[in-house]
């Protein structure tokens, strides 16, 4: 069992007010799962990870790694990083430039205190780890002679060679170019599934989070805004922040006017009455926000019918992206973004209707 | 955690405590001695008499005037000389830049005492061969130039320090992005307006800080005032402080009162200087990356300009060194160009090399310098690490501790340490350990410069990766930090070693009957009438090994492949403290 309870950490930069980097974070992770901490920079996700690693000392809370309490502010427990038995891949990879590939990977075994590794065992474990990340045969090279992608694999091999209880990854793909990043994403997923190692992954890249994770915790200003599977986070965001940060979303202001058909709620908007599902009941008159993903919206020339939410406007811009076309539609009170298939052709200035299927909308209180 | 781990965790704080002791205690001792009747003999009655003795009367104004004229004059002369070299090397296509740079670095190796001595051989009214040449050339009755004058003192020091000004100004001139001047031209500015409104304001922080630095070095200098100022009856603070502690009835209280005034002047200048350096750094970051400096094409003036700069080095550094070398080969006074080489002999070298006091001094100096260099490298590595890596709010204090000694003249370090250990019952008075304390205090800022410049280049995650992999702090130091920093630490070691061998200002207070160092025996031999040839040979025997060491350091820094770059010469000269960049976690 892995758990973080009510974690708090603040910084006081010289001459500045206190910054609450982590403000009461709590989550559990089942063994073998892949959890991603996702959020914009400065949201506290890296600080949380560093607290897990033992590189930062939290102000309050409790951390349990593999049923061992490694931090408990109330009981005064703080196990230093070197004794937590974890593996970590850093954003900069932190490959030691004065060592060979072999020595980098062997380091955790050489400094181990729990048990002594014989020379033969070190050799065996290092080459296993290097094979696992497809760096077999590179043992004797100076670490600095590796390319960015290879250094990343090397860091990964070093992170798993001592069979840690938990693997921590701090934006490991952010320094790679786009193609390599996509490739490494798949390899990372495969490796984690094969080793079955409990993994915590920090990133600000929502597509990485969606692609890799069993679960995602979305961070907002030192707190967890929402936690769930990638599907839940994408399909049912619980706040404007989450809807906006994961993918992109259009937002329409309105006020609940009463129950509609099929358990939907009728919303009075500047574009007429819209229908939208809500997780909980809303009183009529409650100010609400409707979120709709650009790819769920449909553009038509003729009015598509009364059972959809419809806005009218004209095409302001079109952006051709190859496999898709983005349209910005100007309506009476603002703009809305529609992501359409490339065969859906409209010209700039053309009058259009934007149809929003009610089931694809997400509603929440403002 | 075992006992060993707990001791390892204490090491950083022990280092800070040592630095605190080194810096605070001497200043405290000065204050105590200045305000008591006779601190050394145990009469600790509070009194202001020392200040009355030191400051009442016209002589204090003369002392202050001499010191200021000497320091300001040196700053002005070196700024012109060093500024010209920097401009020619950095902003024109004149050849020889690399050579001038090496020559400037070489000037580090020359002890100040020997420069002063050599200039006496050249421009003394009685024995100076330079004066003899001028007299015979122009048919003069009297010596036209007199080294025993304020002008002579300023020249003797300036000829030694102008390379430092070049080294300090060079990077500022190089970093001056010509696109900024071009932007001024495009905006319609005239050449004069661009110079006055863009170029000069951009350079002002660098110029200002360099001037203050040389001012502090000048007012703290001891060798030239001792050798040239004293016979000429031109007193400055450093010589006056030293005199007050000598003789049958040493006046430690008066010396301390004078030292406090000198310390105050230096602290104020260094404070202004430090804010200037910070300005200069903020200006430097404004300039863009990856631009090609636009140098002035001199055309057919390329070689004449280079030769003129070469001549400046030849006159300022070559002439005194050649004089010493020449003189060292003759038993009696032997002006170069005038005496025939027929009497040349190696007898002086033979004499010095078999002179027991010399051999003892070499042993002591080398041993002391090696210990000081080792202690400083270890101490500053730990201090720089704490200042940069640990999340302590005391980082500023550690930076300050390691920087403040730059404002404490060697003479004050010597006097205050002497006082401290005369009073404290620690039996190091009259041993080499008291000299070690002085050298470590004096050169702390230089060690810190190397250590922190090296550490800032090591990504913090390299250490964190070690911790996560299971390494303890001691293992992280031994297996990660030390191998990475080894070349920079070696440079620091050599640099501090050379400075320590050169040291005189503090040593004159602290040597005892059994603990002569090279600087003090040279001084004694000069003042107590050793033969000119023997004194010169003694000088050459110091300069040549030091030059070789500095050349080896230079070779090491340019030829050996390094992951961690050594600090720039400009930063070493200024011992500029880096802003402790403690990266905050995202």
Q: Which domain holds residue B91?
A: 48-176+203-289+300-314
Tell me if B462 and A94 make a contact (CB, 8 A cut-off): yes
Distance in Å, alpha carbon of B401 to nearest chain A alpha carbon: 19
Distance in Å, alpha carbon of A29 to nearest chain B alpha carbon: 20
pLDDT for B470: 92
Residues near B177 by beta carbon (within 8 Å), at least 6 away in sequence:
B287, B288, B291
Rounded Cα distance, A193 and A205, in Å: 21
Across the interface, of A42, A47, A53, the residue whose CB is closest to B468 is: A53
Are B57 and B38 part of one and the same domain? no
pLDDT for A167: 95
Give chain A positions within 8 Å (CB) of B472: 82, 111
Tell me if A92 and B468 make a contact (CB, 8 A cut-off): no
Q: Is residue B188 part of a domain?
A: no
Q: Which candidate, B419, B390, B367, B377, places its Cα nearest to that of B44?
A: B419
- CATH superfamily entry for domain A2-244: P-loop containing nucleotide triphosphate hydrolases (3.40.50.300)
pLDDT for B582: 30
Q: Which residues pair with A340 in a beta bridge?
A: A325
Rounded Cα distance, B256 and B47, in Å: 13
Six token digits for residue B58 = 């016209």
Instruction: Please give the residue of chain B at the shortest CA–CA distance from A114.
Output: B470
Give chain B positions within 8 Å (CB) of A91: 461
- Look at residue B393 and tell me whether its pLDDT is greater than 90: no
pLDDT tens-place string over residues A293-339: 999 999 998 888 777 899 999 999 999 988 899 999 998 888 999 99
Across the interface, of A42, A45, A55, the residue whose CB is closest to B467 is: A55
Residues near A132 by beta carbon (within 8 Å), at least 6 away in sequence:
A157, A160, A191, A194, A195
Q: What is the mean pLDDT of chain A?
A: 91
Residues A279, A283, A285: CA angle, nearest 5 degrees: 120
- Look at residue B119 and tell me whether its pLDDT is greater than 70: yes
Are B262 and B411 part of one and the same domain? no
pLDDT for A199: 95
Are domains A2-244 and A248-365 of this chain identical in fold?
Answer: no
**pLDDT more than 90, % of chain B:** 40
Distance in Å, alpha carbon of A54 to nearest chain B alpha carbon: 8
Tell me if B585 and A42 make a contact (CB, 8 A cut-off): no
- Look at residue B1 and tell me whether its pLDDT is greater than 50: no
Q: Is residue B342 part of a domain?
A: no
Rounded Cα distance, B239 and B220, in Å: 10
pLDDT for B238: 93
- Look at residue B285 and tell me whether its pLDDT is greater than 70: no
| Average pLDDT estimate for B87-109 | 89
Distance in Å, alpha carbon of B483 to nearest chain A alpha carbon: 7
Whether B586 and chain A come into contact, CB under 8 Å, resolves to yes
Q: Is residue B586 part of a domain?
A: no
Is 2.40.110.10 the CATH number for A248-365?
no
pLDDT tens-place string over residues B448-493: 888 888 888 888 899 999 999 999 888 999 999 999 998 889 889 9
Decide: A348 and A361 in contact? Cβ < 8 Å: no
Across the interface, of B469, B480, B584, the residue whose CB is closest to A108 is: B469
Rounded Cα distance, B123 and B147, in Å: 5
Residues B329, B515, B36: CA angle, nearest 5 degrees: 125
Six token digits for residue B243 = 């005199």
Q: Please identify which residue in the block is written with the tokens 């002002």.
A: B204
More confident site: B194 or B278: B194
Distance in Å, alpha carbon of A170 to nearest chain B alpha carbon: 11
pLDDT for A44: 92
DSSP A98-162: TSBHHHHHHHHHHT-SSSPPPHHHHHHHHHHHHHHTT-TT-TTSBGGGS-HHHHHHHHHHHHHTT
Q: What is the mean pLDDT of chain B?
A: 85
Give the helix/strand (H/E) hosting A227: strand A223-228
Six token digits for residue A71 = 């931090």
User: Could you tell me the pLDDT band of residue B281, with boundaries at 50, 70 and 90?
Assistant: low
pLDDT for B338: 63
Instruction: Please give the residue of chain A at the shortest CA–CA distance from B561.
Output: A98
pLDDT for A203: 95
Distance in Å, alpha carbon of B285 to nearest chain A alpha carbon: 22
Count CA within 13 A, CB hemisphere, residue B52. 5
Mutate to test the interface with A, among B465, B485, B581 (most CBs of A within 10 A): B465
Exposure string over B20-57, b if 16+ CB within 10 A, otherwise e = eebbebbbebbebbbbbebbeeeeeeeeeebbeebbee
Decide: B254 and B34 in contact? Cβ < 8 Å: no
CA quadruple A240, A243, A248, A252: dihedral sign: negative
SS3 category, B542 = helix
Are B380 and B509 part of one and the same domain? yes
pLDDT tens-place string over residues B136-147: 888 888 888 999
pLDDT for A316: 93
Instruction: Please give the residue of chain A at the shortest CA–CA distance from B395.
Output: A14
Q: Where are the alpha helices (DSSP H) in B144-251?
A: 150-175, 178-186, 191-194, 200-220, 223-224, 237-244
* Structural domains of chain B, count: 2
Tell me if B468 and A85 make a contact (CB, 8 A cut-off): no
Distance in Å, alpha carbon of A151 to nearest chain B alpha carbon: 13
Query: DSSP class of residue A340?
Result: E
- Look at residue B563 and tell me whether its pLDDT is greater than 80: no
Across the interface, of A11, A82, A91, the residue whose CB is closest to B584 is: A11
Give chain A positions within 8 Å (CB) of B462: 94, 96
Phi, psi of A100 (to 5 degrees): -75, 175
Tell me if A88 and B459 make a contact (CB, 8 A cut-off): no
Across the interface, of A55, A98, A158, the residue whose CB is closest to B469 is: A158
pLDDT for B16: 84
Distance in Å, alpha carbon of B509 to nearest chain A alpha carbon: 42
Tell me if A86 and B472 make a contact (CB, 8 A cut-off): no
Instruction: Please give the residue of chain B at the shortest CA–CA distance from A44.
Output: B586
Farthest CA pair distance, chain A: 77
Decide: B450 and B567 in contact? Cβ < 8 Å: yes
Q: Is residue B325 part of a domain?
A: no
Decide: B522 and B342 in contact? Cβ < 8 Å: no
- Look at residue B170 and tell me whether its pLDDT is greater than 90: no
User: Could you tell me the pLDDT band of residue B289, with boundaries at 50, 70 and 90?
Assistant: very low
CB atoms within 10 A of CB B65: 12
Instruction: Please give the residue of chain A at the shortest CA–CA distance from B475.
Output: A111
Q: Please identify which residue in the block is written with the tokens 């250990």.
A: B421
Whether B466 and chain A come into contact, CB under 8 Å, resolves to yes
Q: Give whichever of A335-339, B1-5, B176-180 has the largest mean pLDDT.
A: A335-339
Are B368 and B280 part of one and the same domain? no
Residues near A174 by beta carbon (within 8 Å), at least 6 away in sequence:
A91, A203, A204, A205
Across the interface, of A50, A94, A111, the residue whose CB is closest to B470 is: A111
CB pairs under 8 A between A and B: 83
More confident site: B5 or B494: B494
Across the interface, of A56, A82, A144, the residue whose CB is closest to B585 is: A56
Instruction: Please give the residue of chain A at the shortest CA–CA distance from B469.
Output: A108
Decide: A146 and A139 in contact? Cβ < 8 Å: no
Residues B201, B202, B204: CA angle, nearest 5 degrees: 60
Distance in Å, alpha carbon of B387 to nearest chain A alpha carbon: 14
Residues near A329 by beta carbon (within 8 Å), at least 6 away in sequence:
A299, A311, A313, A314, A315, A316, A335, A336, A337, A338, A352, A354
Give chain A positions within 8 Å (CB) of B387: none
CB atoms within 10 A of CB A215: 18
Phi, psi of A326 (to 5 degrees): -95, 130
Chain center to CA of A35: 9
Mutate to test the interface with B, among A98, A154, A205 (most CBs of B within 10 A): A98
**Domain harbouring B54, CATH code:** 1.10.3720.10
pLDDT for A75: 93
Q: Is residue B253 part of a domain?
A: yes
DSSP3 helix / strand / coil % (chain B, rounded to 5): 75, 0, 25
Predicted TM-score of the model (pTM):
0.82
Tell me if A90 and B467 make a contact (CB, 8 A cut-off): no
Tell me the CA end-to-end span of chain A in Å, nearest whole number: 37
Decide: B462 and B388 in contact? Cβ < 8 Å: no
pLDDT for B578: 45
Tell me if B480 and A56 make a contact (CB, 8 A cut-off): no
User: Could you tell me the pLDDT band of residue B118, with boundaries at 50, 70 and 90?
Assistant: very high
Mutate to test the interface with A, among B2, B459, B469, B479 (most CBs of A within 10 A): B469
Rounded Cα distance, B123 and B323, in Å: 11
CB atoms within 10 A of CB B298: 16
SS3 category, B4 = helix
- Look at residue B108 and tell me whether its pLDDT is greater than 60: yes
Across the interface, of B462, B468, B585, the residue whose CB is closest to A86 is: B468
Decide: B19 and B379 in contact? Cβ < 8 Å: yes
Farthest CA pair distance, chain B: 85
Q: Give whichever of B204-218, B328-342, B571-585 has the largest mean pLDDT.
A: B204-218
User: Could you tell me the pLDDT band of residue B10, with boundaries at 50, 70 and 90?
Assistant: confident
Tell me if B465 and A56 make a contact (CB, 8 A cut-off): no
Rounded Cα distance, A153 and A142, in Å: 14
Q: Which candidate, B244, B214, B238, places its Cα nearest to that of B226?
A: B238
Tell me if A111 and B475 make a contact (CB, 8 A cut-off): yes
The CA distances from residue B439 to B220, B374, B520, in Å, are 15, 11, 14
Q: Is residue B467 part of a domain?
A: no
pLDDT for A14: 59
pLDDT tens by residue, chain A, 366 residues: 799 999 999 987 656 678 888 999 999 999 999 999 999 988 999 999 999 999 999 999 999 999 999 999 999 999 999 999 999 999 988 999 889 999 999 999 999 888 889 999 999 999 999 999 999 999 999 988 898 889 999 999 999 999 999 999 999 988 888 888 888 888 899 999 999 999 999 999 999 999 999 999 999 999 999 999 999 999 999 999 999 999 889 999 999 988 888 888 999 998 888 999 988 888 888 999 999 999 999 999 888 877 789 999 999 999 998 889 999 999 888 899 999 988 888 999 999 999 999 999 999 888
Q: Which residues pair with A122 in a beta bridge?
A: none
pLDDT tens-place string over residues B406-457: 888 999 999 889 888 888 887 787 888 999 999 999 999 989 888 888 888 8
Distance in Å, alpha carbon of A310 to nearest chain B alpha carbon: 43
Rg (chain A; Cα; Å): 25
Tell me the CA end-to-end span of chain B in Å, nearest whole number: 30
More confident site: B285 or B125: B125
Give chain A positions within 8 Å (CB) of B484: 96-98
Q: Is residue B170 part of a domain?
A: yes
pLDDT for B286: 42
Distance in Å, alpha carbon of A294 to nearest chain B alpha carbon: 31
SS3 category, B459 = coil
Q: Where along chain A do its domains lie?
A: 2-244, 248-365
Decide: B582 and B386 in contact? Cβ < 8 Å: no
């Amino acid at each position: 069992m892995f758990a973080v309870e009510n974690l708090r950490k603040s910084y006081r930069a010289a001459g500045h007010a206190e910054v609450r980097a982590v403000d009461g974070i709590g989550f559990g992770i089942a063994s073998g799962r892949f959890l991603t901490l996702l959020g914009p920079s400065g949201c506290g996700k890296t600080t949380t990870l560093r607290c897990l690693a033992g590189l930062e000392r939290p102000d309050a809370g409790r951390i349990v790694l593999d049923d061992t309490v490694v931090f408990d502010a109330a009981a005064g427990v703080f196990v230093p990083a070197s004794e937590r038995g974890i593996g970590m891949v850093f954003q900069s990879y932190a490959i030691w430039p004065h060592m060979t590939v072999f020595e980098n990977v062997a380091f955790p075994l050489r400094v181990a205190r729990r048990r002594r590794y014989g020379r033969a065992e070190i050799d065996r474990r290092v080459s296993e780890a290097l094979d696992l990340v497809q760096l077999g045969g590179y043992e004797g090279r100076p670490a600095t002679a590796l390319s960015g992608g290879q250094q990343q694999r090397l860091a990964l091999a070093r992170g798993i060679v001592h069979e840690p209880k938990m693997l921590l990854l701090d934006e490991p793909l952010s320094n790679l170019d786009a193609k390599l990043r996509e490739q490494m994403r798949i390899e990372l997923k495969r490796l984690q599934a094969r080793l079955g190692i409990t993994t915590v992954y920090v990133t600000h890249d929502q597509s990485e989070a969606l692609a890799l994770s069993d679960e995602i915790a979305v961070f907002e200003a030192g707190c967890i805004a929402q936690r769930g599977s990638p599907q839940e986070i994408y399909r049912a965001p619980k706040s404007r922040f989450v809807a906006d940060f994961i993918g992109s979303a259009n937002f329409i202001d309105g006020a609940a006017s009463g129950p509609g058909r099929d358990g939907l709620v009728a919303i009075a908007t500047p574009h007429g009455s819209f229908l939208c599902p809500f997780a909980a009941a809303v009183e009529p008159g409650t100010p609400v926000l409707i979120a709709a993903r650009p790819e769920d919206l449909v553009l038509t020339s003729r009015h598509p019918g009364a059972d959809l939410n419809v806005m009218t406007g004209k095409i302001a811009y079109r952006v051709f992206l190859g496999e898709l076309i983005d349209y910005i539609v100007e309506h009476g009170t603002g703009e809305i973004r529609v992501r359409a298939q490339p065969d859906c052709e409209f010209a700039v200035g053309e009058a259009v209707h934007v149809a929003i299927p009610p089931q694809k909308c997400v509603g929440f209180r403002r | 955690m075992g006992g060993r781990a707990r001791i390892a965790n204490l090491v950083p704080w022990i280092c800070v405590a040592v630095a605190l002791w080194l810096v605070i205690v001497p200043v405290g001792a000065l204050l105590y001695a200045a305000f008591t009747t006779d601190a050394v003999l145990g009469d600790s009655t509070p009194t202001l008499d020392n200040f009355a003795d030191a400051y009442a009367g016209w002589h204090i104004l003369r002392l202050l005037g001499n010191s200021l004229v000497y320091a300001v004059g040196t700053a002005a002369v070196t700024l012109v000389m060093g500024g010209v070299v920097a401009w020619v090397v950095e902003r024109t296509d004149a050849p020889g830049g690399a050579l001038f740079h090496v020559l400037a670095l070489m000037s580090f190796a020359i002890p100040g005492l020997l420069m002063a001595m050599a200039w006496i051989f050249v421009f003394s009214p009685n024995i100076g061969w330079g004066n003899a040449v001028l007299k015979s050339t122009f048919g003069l009755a009297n010596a036209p130039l007199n080294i025993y004058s304020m002008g002579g003192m300023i020249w003797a020091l300036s000829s030694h320090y102008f390379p430092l000004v070049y080294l300090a100004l060079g990077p500022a001139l190089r970093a001056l992005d010509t696109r900024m001047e071009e932007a001024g031209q495009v905006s319609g500015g005239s050449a004069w307006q661009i110079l006055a409104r863009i170029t000069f304001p951009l350079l002002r922080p660098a110029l200002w800080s360099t001037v203050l630095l040389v001012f502090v070095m000048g007012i703290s200098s001891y060798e030239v005032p001792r050798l040239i100022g004293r016979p000429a009856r031109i007193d400055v603070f450093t010589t006056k402080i030293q005199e007050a502690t000598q003789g049958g009835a040493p006046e430690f209280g008066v010396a301390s009162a004078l030292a406090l005034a000198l310390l105050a002047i230096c602290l104020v200048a260094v404070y202004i200087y430090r804010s200037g350096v910070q300005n200069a750094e903020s200006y430097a970051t404004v300039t863009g990356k990856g631009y090609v400096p636009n140098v002035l094409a001199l055309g057919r003036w390329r070689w004449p300009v280079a030769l003129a700069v070469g001549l400046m080095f030849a006159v300022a550094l070559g002439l005194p060194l050649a004089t010493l070398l020449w003189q060292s080969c003759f038993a009696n006074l032997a002006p170069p160009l005038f005496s025939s080489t027929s009497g040349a002999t190696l007898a002086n070298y033979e004499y010095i090399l078999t002179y027991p006091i010399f051999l003892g001094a070499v042993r002591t100096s080398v041993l002391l310098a090696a210990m000081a260099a080792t202690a400083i490298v270890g101490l500053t590595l730990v201090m720089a690490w704490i200042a940069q890596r640990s999340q302590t709010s005391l980082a500023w204090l550690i930076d300050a501790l390691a920087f403040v000694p730059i404002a404490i003249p060697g003479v004050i370090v010597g006097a205050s340490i002497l006082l401290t250990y005369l009073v404290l019952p620690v039996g190091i008075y009259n041993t080499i350990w008291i000299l070690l304390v002085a050298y470590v205090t004096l050169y702390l800022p230089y060690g810190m410069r190397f250590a922190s410049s090296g550490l800032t280049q090591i990504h913090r995650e390299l250490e964190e990766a070690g911790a996560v992999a299971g390494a303890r702090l001691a293992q992280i130091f031994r297996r990660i930090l030390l191998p990475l920093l080894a070349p920079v630490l070696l440079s620091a070691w050599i640099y501090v070693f050379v400075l320590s061998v050169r040291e005189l200002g503090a040593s004159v207070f602290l040597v005892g009957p059994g603990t002569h160092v090279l600087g003090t025996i040279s001084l004694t031999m000069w003042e107590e009438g050793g033969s000119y040839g023997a004194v010169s040979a003694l000088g050459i025997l110091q300069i040549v090994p030091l030059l070789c060491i500095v050349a080896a350091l230079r070779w090491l820094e340019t030829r050996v492949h390094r992951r961690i770059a050594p600090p720039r010469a400009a930063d070493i000269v200024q011992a500029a403290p880096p802003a402790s960049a403690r990266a905050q976690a995202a």
